[in-house]
Amino acid sequence: MRSNLKSCYQRNAKPQLYLLIFWVFLAAGLAWHSTAWSTPESNGGQGHSVQQPLGQRFAMFERVAQHQSRIIIYRATGTNQPGAATVYVNDRYHASLIPGGYAQVCLPPGGAELGVRMVAVGRNPKDNLDSTTAINPKGGETSFLSVREQAGMLAVLQPVPAAQAMQELQGTRQQAHTISRVPNAEKCIDAGPAAPQVASQPIHQAAASVASQPIHQAAASVALQQINLAADSLFAFGKSDLKSMSTAGRTSLDNLISQIKTPYLSIERVHIVGHADPLGSEVINDRLSTDRAKTVRDYLLVNGLQVSRIESEGRGSREPVVRHCGSVATAQAIACNQPNRRVAIELSGVRR
């Protein structure tokens, strides 16, 4: 009898043991699953997630190291397009920007190509980029690019002057929930504020000081700056003369004159280059870009910009910053090509 009971107990105990083991593993799996989903997808341990993608408010130090160039890409607050603007640097993923987000990257100086495409939540990503923007930043410089949204769930990265970018970046936060895959990205190095001018000295002391400096130190006081102005904000479409310059365009140039005068003791050279989009014939684009640059040059001189040397030229559509917009003059192609219609102003002078 005892033998039968023992045998029966052993037969029943095995299934119960297996069932107990099953429930232990199931409970452990559920606990892991819960923990995994409650832990934010992090970027370097910062605790940012898809639900909380934005980090610190926008802030930047004044200058990066001379062996670096800094690129800041942002998407202004109040934009209407849903989804994220996915940004690529030299064909490698960098960031996904929602409205009110910005991202930066520091690279060795030289040419860089930035691409963007809009990605809607719940939809398959597009095979191709919406547009690409080519820039050639110099060492120690910061370039600003804004995500400009177009009809049809498209986007363009448009170079923006520093003064305008600083206004639009107010209130934005760093996009921090994903990790950049740009292989040659570097940690941005703070080069410190620009060196202040030395207080006035007796003439013989100043002369002795200058004489004792190596040539490269004396030349360091001459700074280069490039400013890009959107031609659409200056002129009516397809126009180039002063009469066709908008009120907003005149105001923009007046502000530019004030902004140039403030940080510079003297301006040595101003070089103005007009650019056109690739729509239309090459001859017309060359003439349009040349005339726009000349009109801007004349306006700056007449309205008080004092400069030793000022030049202007047009380069037609030979140096686009945005490609893949199409060659047929549709409304979509005209909007896509907006960044290509621009006036670039490069100036050099002695900063205060």
pLDDT for 257-314, tens place per residue?
Answer: 887 777 777 888 888 999 999 988 899 999 999 999 999 999 998 998 888 788 899 9
pLDDT at 222 (0 to 100): 58
pLDDT for 323-345, tens place per residue?
Answer: 888 778 888 888 888 888 999 88
Strands 342-351 and 322-323, sheet pairing: unpaired
pLDDT at 125 (0 to 100): 74
**Is the dihedral angle over the CA atoms 278, 236, 156, 186 positive or is it negative?**
positive
Rounded CA separation 63/349 (Å): 18
SS3 content of the chain, % helix, strand, coil (to 5): 30, 30, 40
**Which of the following CATH numbers is that of domain 218-351: 3.40.30.10, 3.40.50.150, 3.40.50.720, 3.30.1330.60?**
3.30.1330.60
Rounded CA separation 343/111 (Å): 20
With beta carbons less than 8 A apart as the criterion, state whether 146 and 157 touch: yes
Where are the domains positioned within the chain? 54-175, 218-351
Instruction: Tell me which amino acid residue 317 is.
Output: S
Rounded CA separation 22/109 (Å): 59
In tens digits, the chain (352 residues) has pLDDT values of: 555 544 554 555 555 555 555 454 444 443 333 333 232 333 444 454 444 556 688 888 788 999 999 999 999 887 767 788 999 999 999 999 989 999 999 999 988 888 898 888 777 777 788 888 888 888 999 999 999 887 777 888 888 888 888 888 988 999 877 889 999 999 999 887 765 544 444 434 433 433 444 434 444 445 667 788 888 878 988 899 999 998 888 888 988 888 777 777 788 888 899 999 998 889 999 999 999 999 999 999 899 888 878 889 999 999 888 888 877 888 888 888 888 899 988 888 787 7
Both tokens of residue 216? 């490269």
CATH architecture of the domain with range 54-175 = Sandwich (2.60)
Which residue is it, tokens 């820039």?
135
pLDDT at 20 (0 to 100): 52
Angstrom distances, CA of residue 351 to CA of 30, 76, 164: 64, 31, 21
With beta carbons less than 8 A apart as the criterion, state whether 228 and 342 touch: yes
Q: Do domains 54-175 and 218-351 have the same CATH topology?
A: no
- Max Cα separation, the chain? 122
